[in-house]
Structure 1
């Protein structure tokens, strides 16, 4: 089992939460193939709306990858992004700033956003536990 952070706007994360899937990198398939069933994933949302300037800077979802299937969905307008199904936990949004000192993948407080530049990053189980606790995630016993 591995732990991952994906990056997307809060608006896009909410769509995925509601429908039980995740997407990364504007619908690219290759990054999703790095994940496996049972892996934990948390979303970090730098902004509320894609392309907007209303900062969110919070973890907005956390769950486990359901199976090994990567597939294309239909978002309309010819956009067919690749997805993975995720079982999302009940959780609350958690701002990142109070967590900066506790997260090992963050190298200093000055350029902390740099860690998220590729849209999907592997993190330690300890970091994921910090994030899930901050989100008050209701993690099932078998997760």
Structure 2
């Protein structure tokens, strides 16, 4: 099976928690989102804001990693009121935050006029080209 590349749209605060704990979560913890990912797939997070509702706008790529082998798992949070599904991720701890505007002209993702609507899906597949451009910008290679 070939490598796929994913873009998750998540607030930076939530991304940082995932990086700290080594997991990915998308689409408000829906199982289907993380089940689409496979070991070895690339993952990049785009954060429109620092916080989910009230954070400042940042419109940046905020984390970069590779999906680790193993199944998705479910956890309980908020006293059992929230039960999100997760996948293990090996994050690149040296990746820096990169504003989308720095890469906009180079990405397939932003080549159509209504590209922002696609981000509302929460998890979208990226082209290998876009993943390479974003990765290079985030880790300086």
Tell me the TM-score normalised to structure 1 length: 0.89
1:44-73 Cα offsets, whole Å, 9 max, x none, are: 001100112510100000000001311012
Q: Structure 1: any 5+ residue segments left out of the alignment?
A: 139-143
Within 5 A, what are the aligned runs for 1:1-143?
1-78=3-80, 79-89=82-92, 90-108=94-112, 111-136=114-139
Q: Check the 8 A contact 2:105/2:111 in 1, yes or no.
A: no
Equivalent-residue separation in structure 2 for 1:59 and 1:68 (angstroms): 25
Q: CA RMSD in A?
A: 1.5
Equivalent-residue separation in structure 1 for 2:73 and 2:97 (angstroms): 27
The count of corresponding residues between Structure 1 and Structure 2 is 137
**TM-aligned CA deviation for residue 137 of structure 1:** 5.9
**TM-aligned CA deviation for residue 80 of structure 1:** 1.9
Q: Check the 8 A contact 2:73/2:85 in 1, yes or no.
A: yes
Q: Structure 2: any 5+ residue segments left out of the alignment?
A: none
Equivalent-residue separation in structure 1 for 2:36 and 2:58 (angstroms): 26
Q: Check the 8 A contact 1:21/1:83 in 2, yes or no.
A: yes
Q: Check the 8 A contact 1:62/1:132 in 2, yes or no.
A: yes
Tell me the TM-score normalised to structure 2 length: 0.90
Equivalent-residue separation in structure 2 for 1:32 and 1:21 (angstroms): 10
